[in-house]
Every structure is written in structure tokens, then in C-alpha cells.
Amino acid sequence: MHDMSGKTVLITGASRGIGADSARVFAQAGANVALVARGADAITSLAEEIGPQALALPCDVSTYADVSGAVAATRDKFGGLDVLIGNAGVIEPISHLATADPDAWGHVIDINLKGVFFGMRAALPGMLEAGGGTILTISSGAAHGPVEAWSHYCASKAGAAMLTRCLDKENGGKGIRAMGLSPGTVATQMQREIKASGINPVSQLDWSDHIPADWPAKALLWMCSADADDWVGQEISLRDPDIRARVGLT
């Protein structure tokens, strides 16, 4: 396990799924973890489970003031910020373009795309001043191909993937390690929502087809190590068996 002692990690969408498991994995590796999510009760409970190295920060990532406040509170508590994980994301309401509610469609963009940008914008100045940092974004196969009734999700994930590439383009030479992680389908609450929709082939997958949430969490930890430096500026796919082997997943 990559040693993160003395490092501070901020994780958005930390109340459940990949975010919650990432908090546990990074804390086990020695990191301070700032847990950011709208679900105050869930992140407070998780912080209590982890202990004094965890900080619960209720936050709506679709609001820049909330995100910048969470970054500032993290730095105040732990003295800095070394890693930002842009994990917060939603997929509901799943609907076809012709019948999609415009406001609800736009709110998914606010969380999945603008929320990623807000995190980058809030974290970057301090990281650049400190001489570097790692910014990891949760991507998806949906960033690279259309999926029926997921126009909001596909568009937002494609935008977030490009944001990550722009981040590397602008700051890769300044100590910023920017990467995306496409985990494949993961056994989380989002997959239950997808299953319930019954609309597209992803909703027809068996639960056993999905990987556990701690796999992407462990991959994110590995991405913070020098062993992942060859992938800086790129997107890593957990569907790749060579990557799984490199991370130590079976």
C-alpha cells in the first residue's frame, strides 16, 4: 500500500460508494481525509468511523462558494491539500432527450461537470503555490460513447474528461499530476438506480458483473504513487487487466 502519511486528501461525493471507500483506503494509508458531500449525517458518521484524521464538510459541489469553503476548511484543519478527488456525480433522472426535464438535466451538468471544475479551481492556486499536487477525476466509459437515456451523464463525463486533459495541458509542467479514472461498472447505489430504469443494456447487467467500490478506491491510491507517473495527463481504465494487475486487484 502506498504510504500517504502526512498527506491530505479531499474527496467529493464521500458519503457513499467509491467516495466513502476511498476515504477508508486513504485513511488506512495514513492520509488526512476531508469528506465532502451533501449528506451531512453520512459523512459525519464516516468521519467518526475513521477517527481524528477525518473531517466532515457538508457541501454542495454545484455551488462554488461551498467548494472553495471546503477547500479552505481542509487547509485550515490539516495545513494543506495534496490530493483532490473529484468523485461526486449523479445520473438521475434517467430519461430520453425528447422528454428530459431541462432543469433536472442541467442540474446533473452542475454537479458532474461544474462541480469538477469548481474543485479544480478552488484547489489549484494553493497546490501551485505549494509546488504541486494530484488532482484525480472519476471518469466513465460514458465519456467516450453515447448511452441511451444518459445524455446528461455522457455529456458531463465527456466534459470532465476534457477538463482533466486541460488541467494537465496548463499545469502538468508546474507539478500538478492530473489523471482520470474510468472504473467500469461499480456495485454502488448509482448502479441500483440504473438497474431500476431498465432502459439500456447497462441496466440489464447482473449485479455480479459490477466490481466492488474498494477497487477504484485502491486504484486512486495507486494513482498517487510514482508508479502511476507514466499515466499522468491520461485516463486509466480499470477494465484493463494490465492496470488491475499493476494496482494489485484480482
Predicted pLDDT of residue 207: 60
Residue 209 pLDDT grade (very low, low, confident, very high; cuts 50, 70, 90): low
Domain range for 48 is 8-183+213-247
Of the candidates 108, 107, 104, the residue with the CA atom closest to the CA atom of residue 91: 108
Distance of CA 118 to the CA centre of its chain: 13
Residue 94 lies in a domain: yes
The answer, as to whether pTM is greater than 0.75, is: yes
Instruction: Please give the average per-residue pLDDT across 67-72, as a whole number.
Output: 98
Find the range with the poorest average confidence among 79-83, 202-206, 214-218, 241-245: 202-206
Residue 35 lies in a domain: yes
Residue 164 lies in a domain: yes
pLDDT of residue 46 exceeding 70: yes
pLDDT of residue 89 exceeding 90: yes
Instruction: Please give the average per-residue pLDDT across 86-90, as a whole number.
Output: 94
Would you call 153 a catalytic residue per the annotation? yes
More confident residue, 196 or 165: 165
Predicted pLDDT of residue 25: 97
Instruction: Please give the average per-residue pLDDT across 203-219, as a whole number.
Output: 78
Return mean pLDDT, the chain: 93
The CATH number that applies at residue 224 is: 3.40.50.720
Residue 40 lies in a domain: yes
Residue 200 lies in a domain: no
Contacts of 210-214 spanning 24+ positions with Cβ under 8 A: 210/185, 210/186, 211/183, 211/184, 211/185, 211/186, 211/187, 211/238, 212/186, 212/187, 213/17, 213/18, 213/20, 213/21, 213/186, 213/187, 213/188, 214/21, 214/24, 214/25
Predicted pLDDT of residue 22: 97
Residue 191 lies in a domain: no
Instruction: Please give the average per-residue pLDDT across 152-172, as a whole number.
Output: 97
Residue 48 lies in a domain: yes
Catalytic residue among 26, 78, 117, 153: 153
Predicted pLDDT of residue 34: 98
In tens, the pLDDT along 185-205 reads: 776 777 777 778 777 777 766
pLDDT of residue 51 exceeding 90: yes
Instruction: Please give the average per-residue pLDDT across 127-149, as a whole number.
Output: 94
Predicted pLDDT of residue 205: 67
Q: How many structural domains compose the chain? A: 1
Residue 196 lies in a domain: no
